[in-house]
Structure 1
Amino acid sequence: IGTSYDAAATAFCFAWMENQVMAAIKSVPLGQTTGQQILFSLRPEIAATIDAASGLKDDEIVSFAPLLGILSSRHALQYSRIFRS
């Protein structure tokens, strides 16, 4: 689509981070303004993360999060769920 790697990676990282902040806003008493301040303060982290990721070789890229898989499977069995999916 003609988008550069940096632009696509920045958009992806921001969208992921915004999703996490929105979940935090719904989960704890955190206002919209505070959420926006958090996103604003994390902007340098996006650039640093993209720089670090772009320097990785293919065999250095992994997504290993076994605890995430375990917790995800338990999500459906919880008595009370905050976000129904």
Structure 2
Amino acid sequence: MTIHVDIARSHATLAELAAQAENGEEIVLSRDGQAVAVIRAAAVPETPRFRFGALAHLGPLTDEEANVFLQPDPEFIEAAEAADEDDLYR
């Protein structure tokens, strides 16, 4: 939705108009009934995702792919908890 505001009124309510623009409203400032300026929310650039050197050509990792590196390996845990060294080779 577009909100039309006279410039004389906008001086007193600039903070309120900025908050409305942040919420997706488009504010048209006018003088004597003629549009002078438009206030919109600024475009926020998307934060870049991590890319690992040799795999960078494959694009950014998803959250699921990145979390694989943070989870413990069940085989290593089993080997660490083995009571006998022979259990490692079975």
Q: Give the alignment's TM-score, normalised by structure 1.
A: 0.26
Which of the two has greater strand per residue? 2
Q: Give the alignment's TM-score, normalised by structure 2.
A: 0.25
